[in-house]
A and B are shown apart, each in its own frame.
Chain A
Amino acid sequence: MNSPMLVLGATLLLAVLVVALRREAVAAWLATSLGTGVVAAVVFLARPDSALLPLGGTWVLLGRSLELGDANRAIVGFVYLVAGFMFLGARVARPGRLFYAAGLLVTGLAAASLMAVPFLYAALFLEGMALVAVLILYPPERGAARGPLRMVVLYTLGMMALLTAGWQAESLGSGTVSAEAARTATVLAVVGFALLLAAPPFHLWFPTAASHSHPYSLAFVILIAQAGAVFLVLRFFDAYAWLRQDQGLFDAARWIGVGIAVFASVWAMAQRSLARTAVYAVMADTAVVLLAFSARTAEGFQLVLGLSAARVIALGVWSMGASTLQNAGAGDSAEALAGIAYRAPLASTAIIVGLLSIAGFPLTAGFPGRWAVMAGGGPAAYAVVGAIGAISLAAVRWTSTALRTPPEGELPSPAMPERFFLSAGILLCLLLGLFPQLLYPWVIEALSGLSGLTGG
């Protein structure tokens, strides 16, 4: 027995258990939430030198291996904690009957992608994750949708680009490939990462899923998929020194980040659908992550993870509020949500606070990371300020919609668990905005294993 086998085996067993418990909603919820928490604990505790869980960190499969060690322990634990956080709220959000089982498989595949050695195999696991994510985004109870395989198509193309880039990069490492091959590898890697990070024009699955999927499912898939993709980018740059030394690549990343920030900001402000506003706000957040990355410093790379962690809280709170409204039959369009703040004040507050936090508005969880990016100055700072302003304006517009004259009719009052989760989420968002030291120092530790990036 070794720790990757235990972690992935336990995840698979939990998924099977949850399928068996599909008619017992509370039992399935408890098994998923507690089980994911236990697996996260195993990730942190299982070490070869541990007195409690003395397990080896390598699982050899068909000549290749899955490894759980100091380089990836924190980030694998992070993925399980994010999943556990979302599973905990799923009891109230009620995203669909396949959510727990498919969510566990998605989490396991994302974790496997982080443990894959050579790390280029991660692309295959991310492809598998995209396939399982279809079950979460398009559950049977919501019927047929248009373009349900867009995410799979884009992830497949991304996987192929990364596998080819990796093959060329490996050859380059041994000094047998020309500078032209290095350029080809770099271009393929950039295209592959753009596909996985849903950067425009490869964001096509975002609006489709936003229009059809349950908000909570959408948030879950975005959080897990993008965490896997972001860490794959970091591992790629950690592995290849020639890539890290290419200043032109980081300059390009900065301007691409600026471009995405402008695109996402304009589109977020133009949306008449709440879910679509949120996905474009997430895209603007990805742009800020890219801008932090383009600083090419250890602090910048740490900020990438810090921003990813803040997104979990922000998107989690937004999706909880949106789910509460949708479950009560409130709809998603501006017309349907006019005056909603009078009928569902707590859920409306969660939506606005979540959206402001994704925007990075001061005093919310998303702000401290942006402040650090802005401190670097230059075009990145202007882009971050612009994105904060534009997405916050979109949030203000939704606030104004929610505060319009109340329409006729009542929404069912939220039950006690819903009130608790919504209030706790809003408080957490504000608390982490006021005291970022509660989150950032812990999260940036996740990068300590990547010595190429941290200079360790």
Chain B
Amino acid sequence: MNAVAIASLAAALASGAACATSILATPRRVVILALLVQFAATAVLLSAIPLALAIAYAAVGLSVAAILAVTPAPEAGLEAAGPSGVPSGLVFRTVSVLLVSLAAGALGLEVLGGAQGIAPGQALGAGLLFGLGLLHLGLSEEPLHVGAGLMAVLGGFEVGYASLEPSVALHALLIAMPVLIALVVAYLSLLTPGVPERRT
């Protein structure tokens, strides 16, 4: 196994671990930090697009984390985040994360593993991000968590799609999308009751 394959495998595992952390964690700063790691690891996986775009993706991650970090929002809002009727205990979420990680990783390797120009690490990373992102969307309705789930799903999609579609313009638009999502999440966080008033 060469160095590039090892790096992409490590990045896939890091992105999956970061995504899992953002599902399991409730403190805002942990979720935001996990997002930052997830973006950095996904940028490593995006070797099929021009290097400048991959670097831009990491910069997008930094911007997303900065936007979310400076947004005033109550910690309490993250606790009761699940949709009604969906269990949200830590044990349930941990078991779900483990099961979905196994299934999504295997599915990613099965579907994308044989595709031309995709390393096993990229296929694994795409599967993990997409699967865990969908799980995150299903487990939460709180804007920060939904935003994190959306960004994971988009990241997983982008890792797989990068090897199929050569258009730089399309990838530029796709990797800019998380910034818009972060802005909308920040806006919605400001509407949450308990947000401290801004000083004028």
Q: Which residues of A contact B (CB under 8 A)?
A: 61-64, 121, 124, 127-128, 131, 134-135, 138, 140, 143-149, 152-153, 156-157, 160, 163-164, 167
Asked if A127 and B193 sit within 8 Å, CB to CB, the answer is no
- Inter-chain CB contacts under 8 Å: number: 75
- Whether A62 contacts B169 in the complex (CB less than 8 A), given A131-B181, A160-B157, A164-B161, comes out as yes
Which residues of chain B are within 8 angstroms of A144 by Cβ–Cβ distance? 188, 191-193
A41 CB to closest chain B CB, in angstroms? 29
Complex CA–CA separation, A63 to B190 (angstroms):
38
Which residue of the partner chain, among A131, A143, A164, contacts B180 with CB atoms under 8 Å?
A131
Give the interface of B toward A (CB within 8 A). Answer: 83, 137, 141, 143, 146-147, 149-150, 153-154, 157, 161, 164-165, 167-170, 172-174, 177, 180-181, 184-185, 187-188, 190-193
In the A-B complex, the 5 residue pairs with the smallest Cβ-Cβ separation, listed nearest first, are: A62-B169, A64-B169, A149-B146, A144-B191, A147-B141
How near does chain A come to B86, taking the closest CB pair, in angstroms?
A: 12
* Chain B hits for A148, CB < 8 A: 143, 188
11 contacts between A and B (CB under 8 A): A64-B170, A131-B184, A144-B192, A144-B193, A146-B141, A148-B143, A149-B146, A153-B149, A163-B161, A163-B170, A167-B165
Q: Which of B149, B165, B170, B191 contacts A140 (CB 8 A)?
A: B191
A148 to B168, CA, bound (A): 31
Chain B positions within 8 Å of A163 at CB level? 161, 165, 170
> Closest residue to A160 on the B side, CB-wise?
B157
Tell me the dominant secondary structure on chain B's binding face.
Answer: helix
The CA of A143 and the CA of B169, in the complex, are separated in Å by 37
Q: How far is the CB of B85 from chain A (nearest CB, A)?
A: 13
A156 to B147 alpha-carbon distance, docked (Å): 11
Contact assessment for B191 and A147 in the assembled complex, using a CB-CB cutoff below 8 Å: no
Contact B187 A135 (CB under 8 A): yes
Q: Which residue of chain B is the closest to A140 with respect to CB atoms?
A: B191
Give bound CA distance, A148 to B188, whole Å.
Answer: 8
Tell me the complex Cα distance, A11–B190, Å: 27
Interface centre among B172, B188, B193 (most CB of A within 10 A): B188
Whether B181 pairs with A152 at a CB distance below 8 angstroms is: yes
Which residues in A have their C-beta under 8 angstroms from that of B191?
138, 140, 143-145
Chain A residues whose C-beta falls within 8 Å of the C-beta of B161 in the assembled complex:
160, 163-164, 167
Give the Cβ gap from B164 to chain A, nearest Cβ, in Å: 5
Cβ distance A325 to chain B, nearest Cβ, rounded Å: 24
Contact yes or no, B184 A124, CB < 8 A: no
The closest CB in chain B to the CB of A163 belongs to B161
Q: Contact at A156–B150, with CB atoms within 8 Å?
A: yes
A202 to chain B minimum Cβ distance, whole angstroms, is: 13
Chain A residue, CB-CB nearest to B153? A156
Is the pair B169, A63 in contact by a Cβ cutoff of 8 Å? yes
Complex Cα–Cα for A127 and B181 (A): 10
Please indicate the chain A residues that have their CB under 8 angstroms from the CB of B157 in the complex: 160
Contact B170 A134 (CB under 8 A): no
Q: List, in ascending order, chain B residues with CB within 8 A of A147's CB.
A: 83, 141
Cβ distance B167 to chain A, nearest Cβ, rounded Å: 7
Known: A127-B177, A138-B191, A160-B157. A64 touches B167 (CB 8 A): yes
